Chains A and B, each alone.
Chain A
């Protein structure tokens, strides 16, 4: 299976090299970094590490970055896509377990859930996560244990059918709307998340309660677009 690992990245110069190296160590050489209008050297470092890089001239948000990754995969004949965070929160060794059900034809989408087995998620994230899961259930009628997970795998059918219309953080929830809309089969698999000082500092801008309200608004509007 021709698999593309997509890393949406905005100002991740401190971690991106380590993330790419880790992915390569586990045999993932088709790596696409979507440099989403970074003001640091994220793009240059990624290129130096051997990743493919596409650059947004201005910052458009997480959803926009993932959308570009999907479009790149479709244009270049990939039949499997993995989304991976650029802040070092995920472990590359988990990808193999995510791809396995897709390769076996069991499902179209696999979500790596940080809450199925592991404990230790910082409480702020935990609260936001529960709100997000509840909103996904209420608005999109899909039950999930980790609506905001950044580690996901998509098979060919999902790759072709999913249409990303949101540009920011709400894309994580939008995937579930698209799963339901396209009647895709999905599975959740426990993954390990690494919470470092860097990842926490980096997520403070995005995991605030205000951000959650903003995401909620985006989720609601998505239903009418």
Chain B
């Protein structure tokens, strides 16, 4: 029978809580299907990694990385970089929307 230690249990509870939040936000239509799939798969994947750490080593060896932990670190860095990049773009677009608003106000005031 598979046994899990205290740290694993805490992590699993936390990840399941996060997963439930994602489902809830999707039900409330606060996130789109793409975001729902991304976050659900991320948290579900993390649960598998926590419960079955040996499996990541098998996958890592398959990819030629070595240890499972290394694979997780590399994947996390890549994911974080990507999220950071997307956030930057969203921020720029949001700044531009403010500019559009300021422009609209300026031009409307001028034409009055």
The answer to whether B92 touches A221 (Cβ under 8 A) is: yes
Question: Chain A binding site: helix, strand, loop or mixed by DSSP?
Answer: mixed
27 A-B Cβ contacts within 8 A?
A34-B106, A52-B110, A54-B106, A55-B106, A55-B109, A56-B103, A56-B106, A57-B102, A57-B105, A58-B102, A60-B98, A60-B99, A64-B103, A67-B99, A67-B103, A68-B107, A71-B107, A72-B107, A75-B111, A167-B96, A167-B99, A217-B88, A218-B92, A221-B92, A224-B85, A225-B89, A225-B92
A225 to B93, CA, bound (A): 8
A65-93 contacts to B (CB < 8 Å): 67-68, 71-72, 75
Report how far A54 CA is from B103 CA in the complex, Å.
9
- Consensus secondary structure, chain B interface: helix
Expressed in whole angstroms, the minimum distance between the Cβ of A57 and any Cβ of chain B is: 6
Please give the distance in Å from B102's CB to the nearest CB on chain A.
Answer: 5
A165 at the interface (CB under 8 A from B): yes
Beta-carbon contact of A167 and B106 below 8 Å? no
List chain B residues, Cβ under 8 A from A53: 110
Q: Are A224 and B89 within 8 A (Cβ)? A: yes
Give Cα A67–Cα B85 distance, bound, in whole angstroms: 25
Which of under 10, 10 to 19, 20 to 34, or 35 or more describes the interface residues of B? Answer: 10 to 19
A153-188 interface mask toward B, CB cutoff 8 Å, 1 = contact, 0 = none?
Answer: 000000000000111000000000000000000000
Chain B residues near A (Cβ < 8 Å): 85, 88-89, 92-93, 95-96, 98-99, 102-103, 105-107, 109-111
A221 CB contact (under 8 Å) in B88, B105, B106, B109: B88
Assembly CA distance A186 to B98 (angstroms): 31
- Smallest CB-CB separation from B95: which chain A residue? A167
A residues with CB within 8 A of B? 34, 52-58, 60-61, 63-64, 67-68, 71-72, 75, 165-167, 217-218, 221, 224-225
Excluding A52-B110, A217-B88, 8 further A-B contacts by CB distance (< 8 Å) are: A55-B106, A56-B103, A60-B98, A63-B99, A67-B103, A166-B92, A221-B88, A225-B89
| Contact partners of A64 in chain B: CB under 8 A | 99, 102-103
Return the 3 tightest CB-CB contacts between A and B, nearest first: A64-B99, A54-B106, A60-B99
| A75-B107 contact given A221-B88, A225-B89, CB 8 Å threshold | yes
CA distance A34 to B105 in the complex (A): 13
> Hey, which chain B residues are within 8 Å of A56, CB to CB?
102-103, 106
Chain B residues lying within 8 Å of A58, measured Cβ to Cβ, are: 102
Interface pair A54/B110, CB less than 8 Å apart = yes
Complex: A66 Cα to B111 Cα, angstroms? 18
CB distance from A167 to the nearest CB of B (A): 5
Note all chain B residues with C-beta closer than 8 A to A71: 103, 107
